Chain A
Amino acid sequence: MTAWRNSPTPRVDALLLVLIASLAMTVVRANNAWNPTSLAVRAVCELLVTIALSIALCRRAGSLAHAKGLLAIAIFAAIIYPFVAELALRQFAGGSEPLEILMLSSLQLMAVVLAVFSQLPRVASSAVLLSSFLLLFVTTMTSSRIALVLVGIYGMMVLWWLMGAYWDRLAGALVATQVERRIPVRVAVLGGTGIFALLLATLIGATRVSAVALHGFMPTSGGTRWHDPQARSGVGDGDAMVAAKYEAKSFGPVESDLFLESDMPSLYDMSNDLYGDPPKPKRELERNIALASENFTATHEPMSKTERSGREFSAVRRRGKRNSTTTLEDRLAPAMLYVVGRVPLHLALERFDTFDGRQWTHSGETEIRPPIRLEIWYERPWAYLMRAGSSSIHRGVESHAVKIINLNTNRFPSPPQLTAIHVDKVDQPDFFGWTDDGVACMPVRKQIPQLTVAHLQSQGVNLQPLRSSPTNNWRKVEAVVERLRSEFVLDPNAPAPEECTDVVAHFLSTKRGPDYLFATTAAVMLRELGYVTRLVAGFYARHDRFDHRAGQTSVLADDVHVWVEVFVNGNSWVAIEPTPGYDAPRESLTWRQWAMFVLTKCVDWCAEHIAIVLAGSVLVALLFVARCVWLDMLAGCVCCVMGLRSNRARLLWTIRLLEWRGWLAGSSRPRRSTIASWYAPLVENAPPDVQPPLAHFLRCTDRLLYSPAGIDATEHSVVDSVCRSAASTCTRKLLATSFCQSK
């Protein structure tokens, strides 16, 4: 037992347990975030930096008493860091993590710090205790498989750890022959009573403030007339809505088991046997999905409707207290739809394959497509439209969610290479189909109802096989697109004149026009080169409309856009973007391509800013070469200023200056050497005239550092002169030569 207590390194077992709990916590944070990768990277970086810092601190701590002080400081920093970081992020980058996640982050960092300081007695068990608490919270907050696997691993390991701890205690007790009482009874009783009294006071509502504080402690997204955009869950309205489980109060684009009465056309037909009160007839009768009656809630109040939507929430649902006095107001958004997922994104709504010089039409020819299969995937019905990976250019899968707000069509706004669609509760394959021009739609309905959330899965595209294949000369396509993008100007106010019969010729001569002219020209030019092309109209989800708080991109009526698709390999249509100002559909790159891309970008940037790069590197090189000189000067200035306070400070800072110079000269004092013994060779190597003041300086330092009485009056009078001669004599050169000789 004593063996590990006195070991200078942190205990590996505690560190490992805390790391597992931290990973599970990171999974929860990543699940909750809209940009999981960057958050996961950030969380892992935070973890690593915390561990590295704590280990560095620990190494420096040396004695036990020192380490305890550092531990206290580190814990304090760990507690406040997540909140400070969140404030900064909200201010500058639009970060968003709810309060409870921040508090858990505090807990996590605290556990990490404790684990790193676990060589101190009893700290290891505190770290494990905190980590198990962390994991307890994590399990209640997530249903992610990775997190659950981590919890399983943690459970096994902590069991093993507990057994080890038990045997350690036993062994310790046997050695000690006398078992001390470890439970701090007095503290436990006092603390417990205090907490109980506090709880009682809060529950009884001793103060109004406490009641309010309790009510609004966990931020929710409404129900109480105020909503927090960072909330993970909530009832009522708000940006972040939770799907209601027992009592719904508003409509919103979330997937819920509950359905409310509304006049709006609905996908879901309610049949209410319970009250015998039939739902109001729809304005037009459309096909609907039948739902069981227990999913229906009757309300006799005007229902509010939220069109601003945000994240949906997973299975965490709770029964909230119904507050009948508040009627929530409608919050209207101007968006046509919202897109969750990577942007910029091309969302196709219509396609045209025939062009007569003025008009694009669709010929009515339909492609032969495999039948739509409906599969249950994680208890959700997914309609599979296309087999994934059917073409050599397919690479990776992308997921988007489209929240339809003001779109009046039965077509799904679909990203290129759409493979599967999921709409909650719609589990019949004949609800999905294709339009003649090859857009996924709901053939049985005239329009997809408002506030429907459609999850779309599409294939990523990697065009490298096309570029390298000899039959498909993709370089030509890229050349055409590049020329259009570089030599032509996007001008929405320069349409072709009405009497024009060949808009392509007109556009080629004026070299300016709106996006559909770019697309038309590209399509026609590529057809001349022998490619099969078609024109696509739809929406372009711009990345500058991304709302950090809601984690989604609004698509407005202004975002209607036209582009081109090229038929390749005999089985796929590839979208290309000829209009400048719009990003081309992103390829899913291989790691190598990605690295090359980053490299070329960097090289390009450097080439563009060659003067800055050159000047910067020269400056850095100069600073590096002359680092000893300017660091020395800097230290000299600092010591000069700090030494102004008193003779004592003067001596101390002069000795610090010498130490710093020794470090710069590559011969810093070893920790076991005393000042007097280490700098004695310096006195011998100094010029004879400064040897006495140097020796005097060392004597004064010894007296200052180790004599309880401190320096005396006679020494006070010479401090200034001896310090000055020490600082001016003991240059880096002298330090280096003396210590080389003494070695």
Chain B
Amino acid sequence: MIDIQLVGLLNATLQAATLLFIAALGELITEKSGILNLGVEGMISIGAVTGFMTAINTQNILLSVLVGILSSSVFASIHALVTVVLKQDQTVSGLILTILGLAVSALLGKNYVGKKLETKLENISSINEPSNILEVLISQNIIFYIAVVLMIITSYVLKNTMFGRRLEAVGEDSRSSDSMGLKIAKTQFIATCVGGAFAGLSGVYLTLSYVPYWTDNMTSGRGWIALALVIFGGWKPYRTALGALLFGFLEALVPRLQTYGFELSPYIVKITPYIITILVLIILTVYKGGITGAPKNIGVPFFRENR
């Protein structure tokens, strides 16, 4: 038997972490192929609004999730088109994707602001008031378990499959990969769209479960934290998950510290994720000679003709 507030803290940690982790995992896959996509915030937003609109109109939760994933993926293909096919600057294109995504989702969602969602993503088991850690773990939302499965699959695919090897090769050294006959553009295009799909899933989790309604600017910066998470996690799925738990824990802690009666300033808790990320980068630079885990070709467009 543990304290109800402790259960609440754990629950809230897992909720906040799930949102951050899925988006970060998608970005990790994209970045592994050498494409930096700063449009995470916009992609989450697109998935969130399209999923919510579908849920309001059809009451079909599975369809809503699929629509959210697909529309974010299609939206991410804009970035793929600009950076992979047209070989334009990835930073600029990604930033535009964020601004565009927020604006388009605000426009799409105009008539859905403040509407009540009748069908939510339900929790998987029916334990209403979990009283121990095990019960909390088995009574999470279905997306939480999907996130865990995605983490295991992604890690396996990256390490042990041909596709994962190719992805890494393209991101590390596109010139050699090209000489070896790998299809650079195709790999990067797929990786970018997969990243978008993950961000979309994160978005539908936001509006169909975590904060179940729609209003402009729903994401309020979570996409940027997801980007920081990829760096924190050193482009490794398990370490990214650990980071998501830590960041989620801190987010859940801010209001709860106050109800526990601690006098610690919430401002300090709020800036901690960013300080930790910077510290991790510094420590890796000092002790590992700058090996942060970043793919070497990240952000560099591949021109076959350039020698």
Partners in one complex: no
